Amino acid sequence: MLTDLRLAVTVEEITSSWGPRKARLASARMLALISELLAQIEESNWIQPKISFEVCPIVSTGPGWLELRGATRLISRTLVHHLPGALQLGTGVCTIGDVIENRVREGFAASDRLRAVILDEIGTLALFRLSEKLEEMIREEAGHRGLEASGVLSPGEDGLEISLQEAICDLASSSKIGVFHTSSGMLVPRKSISMVVGLGTRMPKWSRGDRCARCGARERCPHRHPQLVEVTR
């Protein structure tokens, strides 16, 4: 579990995420607003990044299920399909907390829509960057164990069943960093992400761009990655 983390986002990172819209949106007024919000976020500590992850041995597999040490069985054909030969399973959760989420809600309630939208984009970008840090940490842990890490799978994305959210949160000890799940599988705070990574000797890999290509929101998401080349070993 890591709670002593620093996560700064720059104006350039925000505007770069707009892609072709940058030329139209990046006015002097908009840049000033982003700078103001970033300064306020830093001064008031609105981004509170936290990470928790665990790695557990896989003791057996079957048609559509994986069983972990401790008798935890994950029912998922997607896991079995995407993680062939996995010897261990890494589960992780990260969050930036609920402060930005609350400020966004207050902005919409006060009809300050532009500020709320930009603040939400900042929070989303910060969360994506934090999830990349979590993925990197799991890959480093795989290396320490003499293993390779697969690509990332997240409940509700990549065909991975949202019903796995509870088990993944429990395995990753998400409650230790203040992240919980609803009965429908949504994470609270909302600016949180959970993930599963397979560890083994020759694991299949895919990029974040490949995940974006499979995502149902890919056409409207300003944070999608264009790299669509799948790497399989």
* pLDDT tens digits, one per residue of 157-209: 878 999 999 999 999 999 999 999 999 999 999 999 999 999 999 899 987 66
pLDDT score, position 159? 87
Q: Which two tokens stand for residue 181?
A: 């799940």
Q: Give 2's DSSP letter.
A: B
Helix (H) / strand (E) element for 138: namely helix 113-144
- Angle among Cα 42, 43, 45 to the nearest 5 degrees reads 65
Average pLDDT over residues 18-30: 83
pLDDT score, position 220? 54
pLDDT score, position 232? 37
- Residue 218 has a CB neighbour count (10 Å cut-off) of 12
200 within 8 A of 88, measured Cβ to Cβ: yes
Separation between Cα atoms, residue 100 and residue 120, nearest integer Å? 7
pLDDT digits 0-9 by tens, 50-97: 999 999 999 999 999 999 998 899 999 999 999 999 999 999 999 999
Average pLDDT, the chain: 88
Residue 230: pLDDT over 50? no
Q: Residue 31, SS3?
A: helix
Q: For residue 152, is it left (φ>0), alpha (ψ between -120 and 50) or beta?
A: beta
Q: Give 200's DSSP letter.
A: E
Cα atoms in the 13 Å half-sphere on the side-chain side of 219 = 1
b/e map 44-66, b = 16+ CB within 10 Å? eebbbbbbbbbbbebeebeeeeb
Q: Where are the domains of the chain?
A: 11-214
Which CATH code fits 11-214?
3.40.109.40
